[in-house]
Amino acid sequence: MYRARTAYLDPAAIARYEDSRFRGPLGAYKLRRERRVVRSALAALPPNLRAVDCPTGVGRWISTLADRGHQVIGVDISVAMLTEARRRAEGVAAVHAEAEHLPFGDDCVDLVFSFALAKHLPREVLFGVLDEFVRVARIGVVCTVNTTPPVLWAWAKRRAPRSRAVDLAVLRSWAQSRGLSLRDFGRCHSPIGMERCLLLRGTD
């Protein structure tokens, strides 16, 4: 199992989590921007879907998904995160599992939503996780990915050492090899501003 950002796994870190990410006017601006981008990606899919939010973290996106009428199952490897998600979104189904091995059958839900996971994954893990999302999602996968161009990787590493990029061209050819279309909804939160919200869905 690959544990991204293990600092978030203890309850004290959870309390600092959103505060640190969205502090001040710049933080508020980033939050507005990422909400806008996520809502537009979700609007490209039908309402009232069965959705897996992986990783759900503290359940930050559950209400956004529920606003579209989606029935949400939150998945995370951190029990503390899931406990907080359950507290914030009363009645939400919360499942302790890892993104690499989701405990769901093929096409078991309609949508997998994944915000701020891919950028933490080593490339060899990333494509396995995306395959897993595609396996369980009947309609589509909305995920954020750091797509900083390779020419900027050395610079980006210095700016945000824990954020890992993948070349968009590589991602596109992976999607093509799986018979998926890849639609880019634009920039969302990232210290280096290169993270984008993507929709993967079948082409047939």
- Contact residues: ligand SAM, CB under 6 A: 1-5, 8-9, 54-55, 57, 60, 76-78, 81, 98-100, 115-117
Minimum Å gap between C-beta 203 and ligand SAM is 27
Whichever of 54 and 109 has its CB closer to ligand SAM, that residue is 54
Phi-psi region of 143 (alpha: psi -120 to 50; beta: other; left: phi over 0): beta
Q: Write down the least CB distance from residue 2 to ligand SAM, Å.
A: 5
Nearer to ligand SAM, 75 or 180 (CB): 75
Distance from the Cα of residue 93 to its chain's centroid = 18
Minimum gap (Å) between residue 106 Cβ and ligand SAM: 19
Q: How far is the CB of 204 from ligand SAM (least distance, A)?
A: 29
Residue nearest to ligand SAM (CB): 57
Distance CA 173, CA 186 (A): 19
CB nearer to ligand SAM: give 62 or 182: 62
Q: Which residues contact 185 (CB under 8 A, 6 or more apart)?
A: 37, 38, 40, 41, 44, 196, 197, 198, 199
Tell me how crowded residue 177 is: count the other CB atoms within 10 A of its CB. Answer: 8
Nearest residue to 195 via CA among 158, 160, 147? 147
Max alpha carbon distance in the chain (Å)? 46
Question: Closer to ligand SAM at the Cβ: 67 or 176?
Answer: 67
